[in-house]
Structure 1
């Protein structure tokens, strides 16, 4: 609420502080050389701006405005770029500022121990020779990309900052697909349980998965719009050879969106199956109780006659009246069951 009314280019942190200290990491490389280190000062990056290499400058932690302002001064960024970076609640977007391209996307990660899904805002600022990535907290989600650089994989070591940006976004989208797939596997297993034993806990699980799938959709759908806009953007900062990779990225995120929509529909179908199954079981119970009561109505009638308080009941004088009464009652019950069976009510 305190951020309402601030200027659009106000550089102030809008979000939740997720780490104590800001960590600055630098990876500088070309096809032959690689330099990787943690740096203490922002101005260290200045010497890399004009080098004929690709420089990846990663910032973990966005809560210190002074560091972000120093980065803006070092690269002479428009204040709107840094203001967008500091707003972790912003919607995924792509914006071409001419000398740089700002990309913003939500990064999802699943904890392997408790299976909780966390969301983090990732901002990428693409320049001609430097790619800046801004993360809310330190993590190893991009370690596969660093390993490809260390192992001197040709495509990434000979590519520019645009290809590096694609590699990072590809990791984010792959996580989308993985998380949707894991949740989808649980949903499919739930369907088997639903058909075998539609207990009350199943409906609770369905609603839980619906909430999780809606959470995923809320973050993945805007990312699709951002990547679609990125694939169409015309900028000198994106080489023609890299455009095919961004189209590939669009295909991948379409897969994630389609899968999430499919599983949402499956959950709705499972909800209908549950209610249909419960209604069917309730009908079976009501049918049984109805048949049970219908059978006992004539028996109660017969027993009621012989329970009357009259002195003269002719049948009471018969020696086998009791057994005759039971015989009649059994014959009536069996006859009604056979009648129900013939009418296919049983």
Structure 2
């Protein structure tokens, strides 16, 4: 399946309000998990259905409802009714190939982006769609599969970090986005280490494996650019929001995200240039080694041309050759051949061809 542009034929002509899952089903059943917290208490639960989360909604606590699995439009449609969400939000969540975006609605803010994972064995980056909807006291996150990068956030909540436990859902949204972008930087650094390791290999012993690695890393870097650049646009638009749902102090933290995503964006561009340089180094090194081989072959050819000429003249089949019966003719021939070789090698060295 294509990684850079995914589209299904059935999506052509759909209304923005049509609730149809556009993506790849990655779970058999939808999974619901809830964390409800304030400064004094924290409760974690696995829920059988999204409506159970309604029992935990309160003005004195924050509820983080995480939903794994997006393949059942009717379930998400019921959730939109339960939490008074616009149908456009559900349509955006169901379209897992949509570009990262942020949109402010009357009662909530919607954010979608991509969450990355790096397979160290295959050296391949995978992504899944990630969406948040939040108001003052509720944040709902939508993921395609079980497993994410939010373990540090859950640990901070369990350890009763006051800044997080004492804030509203807008600060939780910032923390989750911050982890997602930090993970971008971490993955770029891991891929970057492998790219930088190629430098010595390209100079010392370039091979077809080196070229294969360069091409593979170029694909992964291009895939990263495809994800990070739209995410950067989304962060910029997020920083421009003027919403009552986002505290001014939290908005300052959203501006910090811009610095992080800029760092990720610059790193990706740098490694892209490094790979282009490495490709040039590979071709230059291979050409240089080929030139060395051709130079040696040419030198040997030039040395043997006069030798061949001497042997050819000496071996001609004439009846009367002056040196034919001379006792030391054979040794004189070899003396001349060796002298020619030595003179030519000395000449090549003086010309710095050797």
- TM bin, normalised by shorter chain, reads over 0.9
1:217 has 2:225 as partner: yes
Size of the alignment, in residue pairs? Answer: 346
1:145 has 2:153 as partner: yes
SS of 2:324's equivalent in the other structure is helix
CA shift for structure 1 position 267: 0.7
SS of 1:314's equivalent in the other structure is coil
Provide the residue aligned with 1:230 in structure 2. 238
Provide the residue aligned with 2:163 in structure 1. 155
- What are the ranges of 5 or more consecutive residues in structure 1 without an aligned counterpart? none
TM-score of the superposed pair, with normalisation by structure 2: 0.95
Spell out the pairing of 1:307-346 with structure 2 (5 A cutoff): 307-346=315-354
CA shift for structure 1 position 229: 0.9
CA shift for structure 1 position 37: 0.5
SS of 1:98's equivalent in the other structure is coil
Q: Cα 1:88–1:247, aligned 2, differ >3 Å: closer, same or farther?
A: same
CA shift for structure 1 position 131: 0.5
Spell out the pairing of 1:166-177 with structure 2 (5 A cutoff): 166-177=174-185
Provide the residue aligned with 1:81 in structure 2. 89
> Aligned match of 2:133 in 125, 141, 166?
125
1:254 has 2:262 as partner: yes
Provide the residue aligned with 1:2 in structure 2. 10
Spell out the pairing of 1:1-346 with structure 2 (5 A cutoff): 1-112=9-120, 114-346=122-354
Query: Which one is further off, 218-227 or 109-118?
Result: 109-118
Partners of 2:265 and 2:168 lie apart in 1 by: 29
CA shift for structure 1 position 115: 4.3
Query: Which one is further off, 38-47 or 198-207?
Result: 38-47
Partners of 2:28 and 2:155 lie apart in 1 by: 27
Partners of 1:253 and 1:144 lie apart in 2 by: 19
Residues 215-264 of structure 1, C-alpha deviation per residue, up to 9 Å, x if partnerless?
11111111111111111211111100101211111111111111111111
Partners of 1:129 and 1:285 lie apart in 2 by: 72
Partners of 1:289 and 1:110 lie apart in 2 by: 47
SS of 2:145's equivalent in the other structure is coil
Q: Cα 1:221–1:148, aligned 2, differ >3 Å: closer, same or farther?
A: same
TM-score of the superposed pair, with normalisation by structure 1: 0.97
SS of 1:107's equivalent in the other structure is strand
Partners of 1:72 and 1:17 lie apart in 2 by: 20
Residues 65-87 of structure 1, C-alpha deviation per residue, up to 9 Å, x if partnerless?
22201111012211111110111
CA contact (8 A) 2:149 2:183 kept: no
Provide the residue aligned with 2:3 in structure 1. none
Q: Cα 1:198–1:112, aligned 2, differ >3 Å: closer, same or farther?
A: closer
SS of 1:316's equivalent in the other structure is coil
Partners of 2:73 and 2:134 lie apart in 1 by: 20
CA shift for structure 1 position 112: 4.9
